[in-house]
Amino acid sequence: WFFGHPEVYIAALPFFGIITEIIPVFSRKPLFGYIGLVFATITIAGLSITVWAHHMFVTGQVLLPFFSFMTFLIAVPTGVKFFNWVGTIWRGQLTFESPMLWSLGFLVTFLFGGLTGVILASPPMDFQLSDSYFVVAHFHYVVFGTVVFAMFAGFYFRVAEEP
């Protein structure tokens, strides 16, 4: 887990960038809170190396309070990014073309993934949900929500709708 879990966060960063590029275009507004979004991205990259152990809560081999806190803490910059995206959409002149629809799908699916991640950050909940389909669902919400939706949004934004 020491390698694999941080890799998921780092692999998601380019797809966050795709969504960050698309939402302002189809909201016809500048990106809300650009500086906060940049710091959130850097924070996610830094904190990603500290959250791997929440997959080992049930083994008893990790310090529960520290890794639980770090897992809860990484939800803050992720929430900032989500807030920036929604803030950009808020009261914008939206056009619902393909890239924006895929981006909205990204937001919904990624929100589900984030909420399930916060639940799994709590050791008592993780003890009960470990080795269940809840963890599988969380992983697929996050990975599917970032990679697939953002990939299609980026494809339609850069390739399919070019004249």
Name the residue ranges covered by the structural domains of the chain.
4-160
For 111-159, the DSSP string reads HHHHHHHHHHTSHHHHHHHTTSHHHHHHHHHHHIIIIIHHHHHHHIIII
pTM: 0.88
Mean pLDDT by 10 residues, the chain (163 residues): 70 93 96 96 88 72 79 92 97 95 96 92 87 91 89 92 60
What pLDDT is attached to residue 4? 67
* Confidence (pLDDT) at 113: 93
For residue 10, count other CB atoms closer than 10 A to its CB.
12
> To the nearest 10°, the Cα dihedral for 83, 84, 87, 89?
-110
Give the separation between CA 79 and CA 28, rounded to whole angstroms. 22
Nearest to 51 by CA among 12, 15, 13, 2: 2
pLDDT reported for residue 96: 95
